[in-house]
């Protein structure tokens, strides 16, 4: 038990910030010989990842366990701040108990502090007293009565769990338990050493003074008590099993927490791209074009104005598409929009309206709006997306006619946090990390193409934030914690300083990972994981090699088929695939056959809305329905395979017979072009393929798991729907168990397994997948160095234990509570 003496107390102090107060506490501990001088950094680090505010002005700053070697002796000190110092949101700290403890010695102190946190009048008196003995008596005098008297005649259900974690039941696990029980009904409580506390209150849980070897009785009188008690027991087992050396070892550069916020004003959403951003608010407002703002000329001048506007828009888009400073994701989008703007039918329709008496702007807007409305009226999500693309491209011509700048960010001189309703692909493609430090969308989805662009640029992004974004004031400095999916509208100076330090740490870590990018992802025990890239264009293959990719795990060939008036020819495809595999210089390349439909529609195939749906003619189903499309592509693939190691991947395979049918077609085509024998694999992206994985593994050469679609189909969630975005979590045990099943089936037949979906690039996801036994992780090239660096610090046994723990959970929230192995 920690004790407090008058020499450990400093009364009547003043601090201007939380950071200064923590520095004062650390200095006092050092002066008393309890810690080394460097312990202050450990205490500040803890504040970035944990909440130390207990209530009624009582705080307990302490260090991180991995720096416990800086503690010379266990000790507690107190600094009284009568005027208070901002600590958490609007809460102010008056009694700062600084703790230096290597293990769970401070748990008893937390229990005793309940007498203050539960009594506002007592806390107020202690914050102003001039007698240190008064404080000592309040904390260490008569034994605190934390917890309620135990009910010996309890008639509800109960279970018993032994707590074994040597660090004790401190505030973080107590908060996790309280968060879990908040979702449950009935009365739920914990009983320890004859005292009972409400399991929905983190402070009351802490007040029980639970330490290693404590026996916890969990009680519930709910009709669903059996389920509730089982879930609580499992959480306690997770807390028990947390490795001491990694518990609370959170990367503060990513998992950032406010240090001092004068306002609790924040908005939450769904993370689309991780990171932290600081900057002034910039509202992205495009598409509001008023014909009244432009005077009409005669018919000839209006026709000429429209043609010049179209030519100017096409020229601008072409220039952007050729800009080497933009990545391929951006350039491809601009290229696609050239065709939409330069559509002859649209231009002729608008010219006819001009001849009927309308001005150029009104005519163009009317034609674009009319065609888009016809697409939207079909009530098909994919065609509706084409309508949005059309309006998006049309606005570029409208802006030329109005004399507006094509780049809304042209005048931006310092990075801003961009606020918008949503961002279409072409709008997102105009962004750069030099001008945009973060993105917040009222709508949107983490799987939308704008999110892909943001991730490719390394721009933090949060979507589905709702109408509250209207509260963001233009030019006001905000702080975006995209990894935490929240925007702070009024960050304090201390928060801004802390975030800037985190950004510097991120940059330093990226530089370290980049310098080692060509080294393989060898775990500490020698186990190797292949880390490869997802690409869609030749230039991306070159960029993947520069980023340290060990090959290409997914070529998205559908991008050759989109935003055009006809399917690509055999020779066009051949030249593209040949250039890709040659660019890799002998490294393997997995090429997926065309996967259009779903969220990647095409117009020229003449397919109905049912055909284009997520459950329609997607993937290989289109190839079987339209042999001309798939045979042309297969001819190009087998011709290109003569120039390098290509593996062929078939999407939307549900059964072995699906594969056998396409395999027969592929073999016929191979013989026709005298192509080489190549490995044939299937995408594991529908539950049926998981169920049939043992049978599929007997006839294919490899599996590639598409976690985005597997999540969508497995959880029955439209991954593009903003209201459902939070449900589409690939870390859900449903998804992880399907991957585990498929991996075991493949390995039983000696076949390898890759993952090419978004989960492979998730820091926790990559570790769990490796623990499950996945052989290859494929991701955007920009993320390869960081994932490799993270995996090199782990060993397979720890990752297997992590995966086992994740597979045993019952929802994604529980999985994310598990600390990563590294």
The set of catalytic residues is 62, 170, 449, 756
**CA–CA distance, 528 with 512 (Å, rounded to integer):** 20
Which regions of 722-818 does DSSP assign to beta strands (E)?
A: 752-755, 776-779
Structure-token pair, residue 811:
């929802």
* Interatomic CA distance for residues 681 and 660, integer angstroms: 11
Sign of the torsion formed by the C-alpha atoms of 343, 345, 347 and 350: negative
* Token pair recorded at residue 97: 């108990």
> Is residue 457 classed as helix, strand or coil in its secondary structure?
helix
CB atoms < 10 A from the CB of 220, how many? 24
Cα 376 to Cα 688: distance, rounded to the nearest angstrom? 32
In angstroms, rounded to a whole number, what is the distance separating the alpha carbons of residues 326 and 394?
22
Buried b (16+ CB within 10 A) or exposed e, 149-186: ebeeeeeebebebebebebbbbbbbbbbbbebbeebee
* SS3 letters across 177-189: HHHHHCCCCCCEE
**Bridge partners, residue 754, by sequence:** 704, 776
Among 680, 709, 678, CA closest to 697: 680
Q: Are 577 and 536 in contact (CB under 8 A)?
A: no
How many C-beta atoms lie closer than 10 Å to residue 48's C-beta?
A: 20
* Residue whose C-alpha is closest to residue 425's, from 287, 338, 323, 330: 330
Closest residue by Cα to residue 655 from 710, 696, 704, 712: 696
Locus of tokens 């960081």: 786
Query: Which one, of 411, 452, 419, lies nearest residue 438 by Cα?
Result: 419
- Give dist(CA 46, CA 172) in Å, integer: 11
Residue 523 CB partners (closer than 8 Å, separation 6+)? 529, 770, 791, 792, 794, 795, 796, 799
87, 97, 263, 597 from 120: Cα distances, Å: 17, 17, 22, 62
Is 631 in contact with 639 (CB distance < 8 Å)?
Answer: no
- Strands (DSSP E) contained in 62-194 are 75-88, 91-100, 148-149, 157-162, 188-192
Spatial CA neighbour of 9 closest among 139, 105, 143: 139
């Amino acid at each position: 038990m920690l004790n407090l003496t008058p020499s450990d107390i400093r009364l009547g102090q003043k601090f201007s910030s939380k950071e200064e107060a923590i520095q004062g506490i650390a200095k006092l501990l050092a002066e008393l010989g309890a810690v080394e001088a460097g312990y202050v950094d450990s205490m500040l680090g803890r504040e970035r990842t944990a909440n130390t505010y207990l209530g009624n002005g009582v705080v307990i700053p302490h260090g991180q366990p991995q720096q416990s070697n800086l503690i010379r002796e266990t000790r507690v000190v107190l600094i009284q701040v009568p005027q208070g110092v901002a600590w958490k949101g609007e809460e102010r700290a008056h009694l700062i108990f600084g703790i230096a403890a290597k293990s769970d010695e401070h748990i008893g102190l937390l229990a005793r502090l309940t007498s203050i946190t539960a009594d506002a009048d007592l806390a107020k008196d202690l914050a102003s007293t001039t007698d240190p003995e008064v404080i000592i008596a309040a904390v260490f005098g008569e034994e605190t009565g934390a917890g309620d008297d135990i009910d010996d005649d309890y008639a509800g259900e109960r279970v018993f769990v032994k707590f074994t974690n040597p660090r004790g039941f401190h505030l973080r696990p107590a908060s996790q338990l309280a968060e879990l029980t908040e979702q449950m009904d009935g009365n739920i409580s914990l009983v320890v050493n004859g005292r009972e506390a409400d399991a929905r209150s983190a402070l009351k849980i802490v007040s029980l003074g639970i330490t290693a070897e404590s026996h916890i009785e969990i009680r519930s009188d709910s009709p669903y008590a059996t389920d509730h008690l089982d879930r609580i027991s499992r959480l306690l087992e997770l807390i028990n099993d947390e490795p001491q050396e990694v518990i609370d070892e959170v990367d503060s550069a990513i998992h950032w927490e406010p240090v001092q916020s004068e306002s609790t004003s924040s908005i939450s959403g769904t993370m689309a791209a991780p990171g932290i951003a600081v900057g002034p608010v910039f509202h992205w407002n495009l598409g509001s074009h008023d014909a009244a703002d432009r005077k009409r000329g005669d018919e000839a001048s209006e026709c000429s104005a429209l043609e010049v506007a179209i030519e100017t828009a096409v020229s601008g888009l072409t220039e952007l598409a050729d800009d080497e400073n933009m990545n391929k994701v951006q350039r491809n989008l601009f290229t696609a929009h050239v065709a939409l703007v330069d559509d002859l039918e649209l231009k002729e329709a608008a010219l006819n309206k001009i001849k009927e008496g309308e001005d150029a702007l009104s005519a163009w807007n009317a034609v674009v709006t009319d065609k888009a409305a016809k697409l939207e009226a079909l009530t098909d999500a994919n065609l509706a997306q084409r309508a949005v693309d059309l309006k998006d491209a049309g606005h570029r011509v409208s802006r030329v006619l109005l004399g507006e700048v094509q780049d809304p960010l042209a005048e931006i001189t310092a990075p801003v946090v961009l606020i918008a309703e949503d961002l279409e692909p072409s709008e997102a493609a105009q962004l750069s990390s030099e001008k945009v430090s973060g993105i917040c969308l009222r709508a949107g989805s983490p799987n939308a193409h704008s999110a892909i662009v943001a991730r490719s640029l390394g721009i933090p992004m949060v979507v589905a934030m709702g109408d509250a974004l209207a509260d963001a004031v233009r030019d006001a400095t905000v702080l975006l914690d995209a990894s935490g999916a929240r925007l702070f509208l009024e960050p304090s100076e201390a928060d801004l300083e802390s975030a800037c330090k985190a950004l510097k740490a991120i940059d330093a870590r990226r530089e370290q990972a980049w310098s080692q990018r060509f080294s393989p992802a060898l775990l500490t025990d020698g186990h190797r994981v292949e880390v490869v890239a997802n690409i869609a264009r030749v230039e991306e293959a070159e960029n993947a090699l520069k980023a340290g990719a060990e090959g290409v795990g997914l070529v998205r060939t559908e991008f050759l088929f989109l935003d055009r008036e006809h399917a690509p020819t055999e020779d066009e495809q051949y030249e593209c695939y040949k250039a890709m595999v040659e660019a890799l210089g002998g490294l393997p390349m997995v090429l997926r056959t065309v996967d259009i439909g779903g969220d990647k529609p095409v117009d020229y195939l003449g397919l109905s809305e049912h055909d284009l749906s997520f459950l329609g003619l997607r993937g290989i189903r289109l190839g079987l329905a339209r042999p001309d499309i798939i045979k042309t592509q297969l001819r190009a693939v087998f011709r290109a395979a003569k120039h390098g190691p290509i593996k062929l991947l078939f999407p939307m395979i549900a059964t072995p017979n699906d594969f056998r049918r396409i395999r027969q077609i592929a073999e016929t085509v191979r013989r026709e072009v005298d192509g080489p024998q190549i490995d044939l694999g299937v995408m594991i992206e529908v539950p049926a393929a998981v169920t049939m994985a043992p049978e599929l593994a007997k006839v294919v050469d490899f599996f590639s798991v598409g976690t985005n679609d597997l999540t969508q189909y497995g959880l029955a969630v439209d991954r593009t729907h903003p209201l459902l975005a939070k449900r589409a979590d690939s870390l859900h045990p449903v998804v992880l168990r399907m991957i585990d099943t498929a991996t075991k089936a493949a390995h039983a037949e000696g076949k390898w397994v890759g993952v090419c979906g978004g989960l492979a690039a998730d820091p926790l996801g990559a570790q769990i997948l490796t623990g499950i036994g996945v052989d290859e992780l494929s991701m955007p090239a920009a993320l390869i160095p960081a994932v490799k660096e993270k995996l090199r610090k782990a060993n397979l046994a720890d990752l297997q234990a992590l995966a086992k723990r994740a597979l045993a959970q019952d929802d994604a929230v529980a999985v994310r509570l598990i600390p990563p192995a590294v």
